[in-house]
Structure 1
Amino acid sequence: MTGTTGQNADQRTEPTAEQATDRAAATNGRVWLITGANSGFGQALAEAALAAGDTVVAAARRPETLDDLVAAHPDRVLPVRLDVTDPARITAVVADTLLRYGRIDVLVNNAGRGLVGAVEEYTERELRDLMELHFFGPAALTGAVLPHMRARGTGAVVQMSSMGGRLSFPGVGAYSATKFALEGYSEALAQEVAQFGVKVLIVEPGAFRTSFAGQGALAHTTPIAAYDSVVGPVRTGLPAADGKQPGDPVKAAAAILAALDAERTPLRLALGNDAVDALLDHHDAAVKELREWEATGRGTDFDA
């Protein structure tokens, strides 16, 4: 296969079934489908997969932003236009990938964005749009690839969550809500598909040097002055820290590949000292509170 530039990524000639079979046999390594592959963790994972000799179907809303990646690996990168909130496009991209390569070995649900604001500040539209992007889109993509992975008896689904998928703090309630939903869905999924040889990996990064908090990448609600003392520091602190975050996306991608290759892939993988510390503290506090109220909780059953 020759590389296709972003500008004509939607005008490719579809292979015949015979050509698809030949391509599947000739494709070495794994075939990855990565959303949001043009920046941040998505780009780092795409580059790590390519360095390992794999093939990447790199999805982005603007596939022309993938031109440099395609130019560097013209035979192993397929750029595709994909907005994960478009169910019809999800179906088409998965079908096209299976036709071209005969398989999808790893799905990475990475596309996303931030939203900062107090709970009272969010509009219903903002909440619904973020849930479409972080939950319903990944759920649709996962559902589209699962029948194929289940039939083959192998595969992996990587859900890019956040340490905010297990804890939250002022200003990120909507973001955390979407990641909490994704993690609950994925925890059940992992137990359902393990019998078919399919892995599920939930990745929980802390602050990494990606474009997540960059200018124009982080959305904000309309502020209510009453919340300035608790949300204000988050609203200004996240953009101010952009480019100074301690986490290295390249090392994160290497850790994710190592987890996928492990004999026992973890369900959750916290990345970054800040994430590990915060999650350990959160776990200890949750256990302490549970113990303090254990007797009350146990006293609510019917008397024997």
Structure 2
Amino acid sequence: MAQRTWLITGINSGFGRHMTEQLLERGDRVAGTVRNVNSVDDLKAKYGDLLWTDQLDVTDIPAIYTVIDRAFTELGTIDVVVSNAGYGLFGAAEELTIEQITHQLNTNLSGSIHVVRASLPHLRTQGGGRIIQLSTVGGQAAFPGGSLYHATKWGIEGFTEAVMQEVAPFNIGVTIVEPGGARTNFRHHGSKIGPKLDAYENSPASAARRILEDSKAVSLGDPAKMVKIMIDSVDQHPAPKRIVLGSDSYQAIHRALSGRLQDLELQKELAFSTDFPKDNPSVAYKF
């Protein structure tokens, strides 16, 4: 197997950490970003020059471009860019503070957009590569108590699906990954909760709070298995558009898509009724 070089944001924990460990163990190079430069000292000590690191908070947009430019300059060709850094913000929309909302959008949505944008000129110049965008089951299915988290993940999925069509002529493959719950530290350390409002105590939104506050709750997904599938996807040609991981993710997305398709079919006659007559001479644009 040929050695690849990967750029991964947020390698200190969660999927980023699992992916970095698997890649380094098999001999690939990783350019990893972290907010705390000392958080991966153990990996540096074990793998030496295979691991290149730089400090990055993805809410700092100028720094994203600086760090990614530096990674490509110092390492040369980077085969795969993994936009992974992010976290979950939960609570009813009314419960969240303005500061929390802004930070969630700046991290998960704006940060991810600029990681991809900063990488594209380099990938085009080198003649191709892969981008893996970490999303979630919450990028296709919505649950009460997750409105802002969903806003970022539905947003980044729309952005990514458009980009994958834009860059296909440049031999750049793009994949969206939609994991369900996994036994990482996301639930208890990678998530934040808005201030509690008594009005929502018995509302559907309170379910998200209860899950996060339950220290005994255990997710179904094995992160090591999920990460291996993400890594192996780079050998698939063409790149898979989406990868759904976990039975909970599959079931929730299937239910959401089936419901939306059923609703759409019921509106077909209504939708067509708003068109100009077919003999209208105006130019019609179709998506």
Contact 1:210–1:243 (Cα < 8 Å) also in 2: no
The equivalent residue for 1:161 is 135
The answer for unaligned runs of 5 or more in structure 1 is 1-27
Alignment of 1:1-304 (within 5 A): 29-214=3-188, 216-229=189-202, 230-240=204-214, 244-304=218-278
**TM-score normalised over the length of structure 2:** 0.91
Work out the CA distance in 2 between the residues paired with 1:95 and 1:151. 13
* Range that drifts further, 174-183 or 119-128: 119-128
The Cα offsets for residues 19-64 of structure 1, whole Å up to 9 and x where unpaired, read as: xxxxxxxxx7221111110111001111222233210012110020
SS at the partner of 2:143? coil
Tell me which amino acid in the other structure corresponds to 1:188: A
Contact 1:213–1:242 (Cα < 8 Å) also in 2: no
Contact 1:201–1:260 (Cα < 8 Å) also in 2: no
Work out the CA distance in 1 between the residues paired with 2:152 and 2:241. 18
The answer for unaligned runs of 5 or more in structure 2 is 279-287
For residue 79 of structure 1, report the CA deviation from its aligned partner: 2.1
For residue 243 of structure 1, report the CA deviation from its aligned partner: 6.5
**TM-score normalised over the length of structure 1:** 0.86
SS at the partner of 2:121? helix
Contact 2:179–2:246 (Cα < 8 Å) also in 1: yes
Tell me which amino acid in the other structure corresponds to 1:284: S
Q: 1:58 to 1:210 in 2, by over 3 A?
A: same
For residue 197 of structure 1, report the CA deviation from its aligned partner: 0.6
Work out the CA distance in 2 between the residues paired with 1:65 and 1:266. 32
The Cα offsets for residues 54-95 of structure 1, whole Å up to 9 and x where unpaired, read as: 100121100201011111211201121111111222122112
For residue 162 of structure 1, report the CA deviation from its aligned partner: 0.5
Contact 2:173–2:238 (Cα < 8 Å) also in 1: no
Work out the CA distance in 1 between the residues paired with 2:61 and 2:208. 33
SS at the partner of 1:94? helix
Work out the CA distance in 1 between the residues paired with 2:15 and 2:49. 22
Identity of aligned residues (%): 36
For residue 138 of structure 1, report the CA deviation from its aligned partner: 1.4
Work out the CA distance in 2 between the residues paired with 1:302 and 1:89. 49
For residue 169 of structure 1, report the CA deviation from its aligned partner: 1.1
RMSD in angstroms over aligned alpha carbons? 1.6
Tell me which amino acid in the other structure corresponds to 1:228: E
